[in-house]
Structure 1
């Protein structure tokens, strides 16, 4: 680093800008494909209904984060137009085209996709209530101030990225230490690979590893999240300490964060959470690659703008910093409507057993004599023979909420969206059926549907060799239905 200019972080800027842009493409494509069926004009939780409620109440607007649809009437067509525009702008950023111009060009492009995606998240209700939504928004906002290829990235903005990674990793580590006992007695990962929201192709193999390996995983996780993040700030010492060591320490810290995230990527499906963390961790990699090194001095106006952003974050960071020290630490919380300087964290407790809600339908009108057939989801476990798919960084929102559904107790499922989902299945609603992997009735309306709870567990190696099944499941009972269309 050299004062206001982080001259050795040109490569880091390339990874940050292009990587974040690619993740925005994934997010916009996900919304294009799923938002109309989940939250559109005829969706399970229609966004127009929420917006109408907000408009009808003077003070209700205070609970809604900024969205363009406060000023423009929502339609599915306009939602898709917004997604298409977001994909085009993000694709240009991923290719590095706006970065070839003055600093204000990529700034405006990143702010456009940040505000565009916030407009979607703000009306996404429970289907967009995930920590990686606010993480992507905050990353997009900060990326707006990394500048273009004409000058080196501003030092203050690189430091803000370190602060973001610190809050993300250290916050997750603290939420675990303060959370379930399983994180303190090193048993958490003897359950997690099996009970995580959406297992991947290698999750079963990871689950069947020896107990001592899982204990080592937990211990390594604590080191990576509670100790390593502090060393991300080591390159700052390069301003006063001569020699390569401050930069090397930062590189090693970044490498450890990236390595742990790659293990999570190959053993699970956490949408773009882990991929975003990998991209953000590159902010601490000081690689003086000549091709990415910019000799141009930072203009005064750009120093003023980026310094103002830094001062804004210095003020906003009071709340997440206090949260990190609080015994009642909040997880994935925002302290302002613009989703900046958020608190992060995940899996403060680990589920010990996996309960899946299996949705079934039948063409028979008599439930006692009916032949019931399961609906197959794209990501969540169902068929005991199917290899769990690799989905991330794509986000299957319906599948994720199906995992949350029984966590409060499978005997009573009281979620408005799930009731609407069953109604859509009874109506053979085409957009809803496209969210699934297979419609067993090929567009025909079932007479009845029901929801059945099962306890799932991964089979052992011996069980798989004998039965060729990856899951063993035990029926717990019917929790909804049989229900028919009114």
Structure 2
């Protein structure tokens, strides 16, 4: 079936599947390490309260039928182990039906987590992983050529991801149109990384060039994904390179990495054959008839579901990172339609003084990645996702983003809750809980070169006042 099979993409599929398994593994391990404090039975926004008010049809999940911290941990650990098995290629030699089931398992498990994750899982890369993971189910095992329709569906994901992000920028903040957004972005992005200070200190012409290149990559290059080879491979390489640039400049969880993973499917086997010492088998089996029918049915469903994201992209009221169905298929994406010019940070402090006064000593809690200590270099954490640190960035933008979890966070810190404290880098009260905690709002900015040389500090901060959520 020449119309069905894309034999030249055998190695592209292999690269994609291995890389996707890595992303799955990171996602499940992150869930294992963070869920108790965030959404556990005694977490900041407990799952049992959520499923009690949200029905299965709106949030399909295993946890709608049963939830306990032990069960959640079992699901997350199973997902991590399963992802590791896929990474090792243990599903490659299975029959087509068994291979499909092998890739269906991590998708179903992670969808179950996302659907009860509430605000902690409300990021575009969560729905992206669910959408891409579902399409991966239909790519088939190593001895069958990958279906062209599924590859086109993945290119359609990449198109929406890039083109949607480009449109939201043009329609959003004026600084994208006058090419000045990157004067601020590297400093005010959610979690700067070790190179963000250096990117921020690039000359302004370089920032303008970055913004212009972004527009070309997101508004022009996506159309080339549907061009004949080798143009499609060139487009894929451009996406991979530009996403790699974003990886170097900031911590965006696995958004950029997963975008690169999807782009690998558009690069022809010739590129991967030149880079990897792996060749396709001598012959590829014909696909079973039921498999062809299933893939064609999938394509038809995706065409229908594409109506809503296309309508959104064409709308003047375009929204970012929205799903139109409970299975998180064929979503709309976008990032940084507006850019904050000033960085604000919520700093949480505690004291052992039972009656705080003017002479009270307040000690600061340290987070794993978000700015706090001005002398600490921003760390590299991506593609791992620190959910509390990300939400603290939103809380600093507006108190509305801090509801309902921030008051619960302060209460947990007053109790020295071990699960919440485990999410932090530094607890100033390791033995006895504080008598009081408070939150204060600061303005942060990167030091300039002279300040950096004279003080050793990466940040300079100025107190704005008390923070109220």
Question: What is the TM-score normalised by the length of structure 2?
Answer: 0.96
User: Which consecutive residues of structure 2, in runs of 5 or more, have no partner in the other structure?
Assistant: none
Q: Deviations over 1:267-316 (max 9, x none)?
A: 10000100000000011111144713553222222111111111110111
> What is the CA distance between 1:413 and its match in structure 2?
7.6
Alignment of 1:81 with 2:71, yes or no, is no
Alignment of 1:359 with 2:348, yes or no, is yes
**Corresponding residue number in structure 1 for 2:247:** 265
In the TM superposition, what are the counterparts of 1:338-417 in structure 2 within 5 Å?
338-368=327-357, 369-408=359-398, 415-417=403-405
Once structures 1 and 2 are overlaid, which stretch shifts more, 280-289 or 327-336? Answer: 280-289
In the TM superposition, what are the counterparts of 1:30-179 in structure 2 within 5 Å?
30-54=30-54, 60-62=55-57, 64-71=58-65, 73-179=66-172
Q: 1:180–1:348: 8 Å Cα contact kept in structure 2? A: yes
Give SS of 1:247's match.
coil
> What is the CA distance between 1:65 and its match in structure 2?
1.6
**Corresponding residue number in structure 2 for 1:292:** 280
**Corresponding residue number in structure 1 for 2:415:** 427
Distance between the aligned counterparts of 2:164 and 2:16, measured in 1?
Answer: 21
> What is the CA distance between 1:61 and its match in structure 2?
4.4
Measured at CA, do residues 414 and 335 of structure 1 come closer, stay the same or move farther in structure 2, by a change above 3 Å? Answer: closer
**Corresponding residue number in structure 1 for 2:6:** 6
**Corresponding residue number in structure 2 for 1:211:** 204
Q: Deviations over 1:116-154 (max 9, x none)?
A: 111111111111111110000001100011100111100
Q: Deviations over 1:234-277 (max 9, x none)?
A: 1xxxxxxxxxxx21101110000000100000110000100000
Distance between the aligned counterparts of 1:81 and 1:286, measured in 2?
Answer: 39
User: Which consecutive residues of structure 1, in runs of 5 or more, have no partner in the other structure?
Assistant: 55-59, 235-245, 482-486
**Corresponding residue number in structure 2 for 1:484:** none
Give SS of 1:8's match.
helix
Q: 1:450–1:480: 8 Å Cα contact kept in structure 2? A: no
Give SS of 2:396's match.
coil
Give SS of 1:9's match.
helix
Once structures 1 and 2 are overlaid, which stretch shifts more, 367-376 or 429-438? Answer: 367-376
**Corresponding residue number in structure 2 for 1:189:** 182
Q: Deviations over 1:172-226 (max 9, x none)?
A: 0000000000100000111000000000000000000000000000000000000
Identify which of 281, 285, 292 aligns with 1:303: 292
Give SS of 2:84's match.
helix
> What is the CA distance between 1:3 and its match in structure 2?
1.9
> What is the CA distance between 1:364 and its match in structure 2?
1.0
Q: 2:394–2:402: 8 Å Cα contact kept in structure 1? A: no
Give SS of 2:336's match.
coil
Q: 2:394–2:401: 8 Å Cα contact kept in structure 1? A: no
**Corresponding residue number in structure 2 for 1:331:** 320
Note the aligned Cα RMSD (angstroms). 1.5
Identify which of 322, 333, 347 aligns with 2:311: 322
Give SS of 1:100's match.
coil
> What is the CA distance between 1:480 and its match in structure 2?
4.2
Distance between the aligned counterparts of 1:44 and 1:216, measured in 2?
Answer: 42
Give SS of 2:284's match.
coil
> What is the CA distance between 1:161 and its match in structure 2?
0.5
Distance between the aligned counterparts of 1:170 and 1:24, measured in 2?
Answer: 25
> What is the CA distance between 1:68 and its match in structure 2?
0.6
Q: 1:99–1:105: 8 Å Cα contact kept in structure 2? A: no
Q: 1:93–1:106: 8 Å Cα contact kept in structure 2? A: no
Between Structure 1 and Structure 2, how many residues are aligned? 461
Question: What is the TM-score normalised by the length of structure 1?
Answer: 0.93
Give SS of 1:386's match.
coil
> What is the CA distance between 1:414 and its match in structure 2?
5.4
Q: 1:179–1:349: 8 Å Cα contact kept in structure 2? A: yes
